[in-house]
């Protein structure tokens, strides 16, 4: 598993479109939540500020993050597609990987990206939730 | 001598198209074995099957006298068809992937790049290399993990004479180091200069195999000219003098039976009343042999 993870790490981290799309995903997510946090809008029963407070923030941030999942999808499709267009899947099998290992490797990649976005959203939720929660106290 | 590869009646079809049928041969340790044949003869299919990329429709094969397994694959370095690497990764990164797959030491990377004369280019992206360098990079990747056997599919494909010579020297140095090498090629010169043994494939059938030296020396050909070549061919075919008689441009080419020589042929022609205007003994080149076999 560690070997497959390391292989996918080398393949992905050195791939310029991977870095670009992941940075775009990260920036767009934080840009949206920062911009929305500056909006002072409220109607009876709803306030934008309320979205940044616990427990609403647990639903709001993952919802915003889901808008940009398209970038992650493109990254994954490109990385898997590359293996076929560069015929490197075939080369990996020649070099000694099982066909199952290749599929496992890509599943590990998908899982890793999922974990990364989960952690990114979790950290954002904790930071913004705490900031907006504390600011309400004062 | 230890058998490295044993192929028994191997067959592979692509739908209704027969790629190879009943191909059998064996490769022993230390041999440089050439798979020779025109395009579409089944060389790459044979290599792809024995490397486990394609499943055979019939027959069997064994590596190191055991069924093909992950362990035996570790002992083999293979290049099938074109060099397949990640163009956006550097040579070093590409070889790092290969080293990880083969559980080889990363020290092997520099060593392999050194052998392929690419050490200075190790931080260049694979996509930026020339075709010759890509082929040498393939050889470097094959050498990772110091495998006992190298399987190379047309390693000099598309190279200029200089690149051809460079790759050939790398292969020869590996052969001198005691590695067993299996090369598929349609370049006769490459096989003649590099291989100790050769198997010739045509339309998926194995039509000849043996030592390159034997294939060459056994087939000494006498080229003769006369005013009535058709009659001479007929007479020779009726006699037990010639193993094979065929027309070659303006000449009649005669492959004599063992223990006979050009003097015997000359005597035969004289006795039959043919006046020879030319008699030339030529050791048949691999090309002549090859063309004759695939005709």
CA distance A4 to B34: 35
Domains of chain B by start residue, with CATH = 3-215 (3.40.50.300), 218-294 (3.30.70.980)
**What is the mean pLDDT of the segment spanning B100-107?**
90
- Report CB contact under 8 Å: A87, B84: yes
CA distance B149 to B180: 5
Give me the interface pTM, i.e. the ipTM.
0.85
* pLDDT surpassing 80 at residue B295: no
Nearest-Cα residue of chain A relative to residue B93: A10
Tell which residue, B119, B108, B117, has the closest CA to residue B142: B108
Distance in Å, alpha carbon of B62 to nearest chain A alpha carbon: 16
A84-98 pLDDT, tens digit per residue, is: 999 999 889 888 888
**Residues of chain B found within 8 Å of residue A16, distances taken between Cβ atoms:** 88
Size of interface A-B (CB pairs under 8 A): 60
Specify the length of chain B in residues: 295
- Assign B49 a pLDDT band (cuts: 50, 70, 90): very high
**What is the mean pLDDT of the segment spanning A65-84?**
94
- Assign B217 a pLDDT band (cuts: 50, 70, 90): low
Q: What pLDDT does residue B222 have?
A: 86
Distance in Å, alpha carbon of B38 to nearest chain A alpha carbon: 24
B125-164 pLDDT, tens digit per residue, is: 999 998 888 988 998 999 999 999 999 998 888 778 888 8
Q: What pLDDT does residue B219 have?
A: 62
CB-based contact B53:A93 (threshold 8 Å): yes
Domain boundaries, chain A: 2-37+49-137
Q: What pLDDT does residue A110 have?
A: 95
A14-69 pLDDT, tens digit per residue, is: 999 999 999 999 999 999 999 998 887 777 777 778 888 888 899 999 999 999 99
* Token code pair at residue A136: 């309400």
Nearest-Cα residue of chain B relative to residue A18: B88
* Token code pair at residue B17: 């198209």
* pLDDT surpassing 90 at residue B262: no
CB-based contact A48:B123 (threshold 8 Å): no
């Amino acid at each position: 598993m560690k070997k497959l993870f390391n292989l996918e790490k080398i393949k992905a981290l050195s791939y310029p479109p991977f870095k670009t799309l992941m940075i775009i995903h990260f920036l767009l997510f934080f840009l949206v939540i920062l911009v929305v946090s500056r909006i002072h809008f409220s109607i009876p029963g709803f306030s934008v500020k309320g979205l940044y407070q616990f427990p609403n923030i647990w639903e709001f941030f993952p919802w915003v993050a889901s808008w940009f999942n398209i970038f992650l999808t493109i990254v994954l499709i490109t990385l898997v597609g590359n293996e076929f267009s560069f015929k490197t899947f075939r080369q990996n099998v020649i070099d000694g990987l099982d066909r199952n290992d290749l599929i496992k490797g890509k599943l590990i990649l998908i899982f890793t990206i999922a974990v990364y976005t989960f952690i990114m959203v979790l950290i954002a939720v904790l930071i913004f939730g705490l900031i907006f929660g504390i600011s309400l106290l004062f | 001598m230890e058998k490295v590869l044993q192929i028994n009646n191997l067959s592979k079809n692509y739908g209704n198209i027969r790629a190879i049928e009943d191909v059998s041969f064996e490769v022993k340790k230390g041999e440089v074995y050439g798979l020779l044949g025109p395009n579409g003869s089944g060389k790459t299919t044979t290599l792809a099957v024995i490397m486990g990329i394609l499943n055979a429709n019939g027959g069997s094969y064994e590596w190191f006298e055991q069924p093909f397994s992950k362990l035996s694959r570790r002992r083999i370095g293979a290049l099938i068809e074109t060099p397949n690497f990640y163009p956006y990764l550097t040579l070093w990164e590409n070889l790092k992937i290969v080293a990880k797959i083969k559980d080889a030491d990363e020290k092997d990377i520099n060593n392999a790049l050194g052998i392929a004369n690419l050490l200075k280019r190790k931080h260049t992206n694979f996509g930026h290399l020339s075709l010759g360098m890509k082929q040498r990079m393939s050889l470097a990747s094959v050498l990772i993990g110091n495998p006992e056997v190298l399987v190379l599919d047309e390693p000099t494909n598309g190279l200029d004479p200089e690149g051809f010579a460079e790759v050939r020297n790398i292969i020869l140095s590996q052969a001198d180091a005691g590695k067993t090498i299996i090369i598929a090629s349609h370049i006769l010169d490459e096989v003649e200069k590099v291989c100790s043994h050769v198997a010739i494939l045509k339309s998926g059938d194995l039509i000849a195999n043996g030592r390159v030296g034997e294939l060459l020396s056994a087939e000494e050909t006498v080229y003769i000219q006369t005013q009535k070549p058709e009659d001479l061919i007929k007479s020779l075919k009726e006699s037990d003098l010639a193993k094979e008689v065929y027309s070659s441009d303006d000449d009649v080419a005669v492959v004599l039976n063992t223990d006979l020589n050009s003097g015997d042929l000359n005597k035969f022609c004289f006795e039959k009343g043919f006046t020879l205007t030319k008699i030339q003994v030529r050791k048949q080149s691999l090309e002549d042999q090859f063309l004759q076999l695939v005709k």
